[in-house]
């Protein structure tokens, strides 16, 4: 029988871990809380605060808890943990969207300068 290995989330005794604050915990190198996945991305979401209505859709739907929101105010993206899946862009309801995907190498100013205008409703 081939033996596997266990990648523990915390170093040392984790018995009372649920009662400890994040800064008190000893995260192992394998724990996604401390491991950056930024190098996985080809594209990244860019946030345009001028269009955002703080609906929190992106925060609810992000599969990696990488939307930073405090007191129901969208603040930005945790680029250490965002994997660039684009779900947040899909669920953003504003016109134009407040989150758009750009190449990983794009700078913020460059991305904001390329932001699309509001789309007009099509006449019937
Ligand atoms: S691109 Fe994906 S992982 Fe990154 S913030 Fe948006 S939903 Fe989360
Ligand atoms: S989904 Fe769009 S409008 Fe809603 S909080 Fe996120 S960025 Fe802002």
Class of 36-113 in CATH: alpha beta
Please provide the DSSP assignment of 35-70 as one string: ---GGG-SEEEEE-TTT-----HHHHH-TT--EEEE
Please check the confidence at residue 2 and state whether its pLDDT lies above 80. Answer: no
Distance CA 39, CA 45 (A): 14
Instruction: Give percent above pLDDT 90 in the chain.
Output: 69
Per-residue pLDDT at 4: 85
Per-residue pLDDT at 23: 86
Ligand 1 binding pocket includes 47 (Cβ within 6 Å): no
Which residue's alpha carbon is nearest to atom 2 within ligand 1? 85
Per-residue pLDDT at 122: 81
pLDDT (mean) for 2-27 = 87
pLDDT (mean) for 80-91 = 96
Please check the confidence at residue 1 and state whether its pLDDT lies above 70. Answer: no
Domain ranges in the chain are 1-35, 36-113
Please check the confidence at residue 85 and state whether its pLDDT lies above 90. Answer: yes
Give the ligand whose atoms come closest to the C-alpha of residue 52.
2
**Cβ contacts of 117-122, under 8 Å, gap ≥ 24:** 119/95
The closest-lying atom of ligand 2 relative to the alpha carbon of residue 97 is: 2
**32-50 pLDDT, tens per residue?**
788 888 898 999 999 999 9
In a mutational test of the pocket of ligand 1, which residue from 38, 59, 86 has the highest number of ligand atoms less than 8 Å from its CB? 86
Give the ligand whose atoms come closest to the C-alpha of residue 73.
2
Ligand 1 binding pocket includes 46 (Cβ within 6 Å): no
- Which residues are 45's β-sheet partners? 101
Per-residue pLDDT at 111: 97
Per-residue pLDDT at 123: 75
């Amino acid at each position: 029988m081939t033996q596997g290995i266990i990648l523990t989330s915390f170093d040392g005794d984790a018995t009372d871990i649920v009662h400890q604050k994040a800064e008190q915990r000893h995260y192992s190198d394998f724990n996604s809380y401390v491991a950056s996945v930024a190098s996985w991305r080809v594209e990244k979401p860019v946030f345009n605060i001028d269009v955002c209505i703080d609906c929190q859709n992106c925060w609810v739907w992000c599969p990696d808890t990488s939307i930073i929101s405090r007191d129901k105010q969208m603040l930005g993206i945790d680029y250490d943990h965002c994997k660039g899946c684009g779900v947040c862009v899909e669920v953003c309801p504003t016109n134009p969207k407040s989150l758009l995907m750009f190449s990983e190498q794009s700078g913020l100013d460059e991305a904001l300068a390329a932001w699309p205008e509001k789309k007009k409703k099509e006449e019937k």
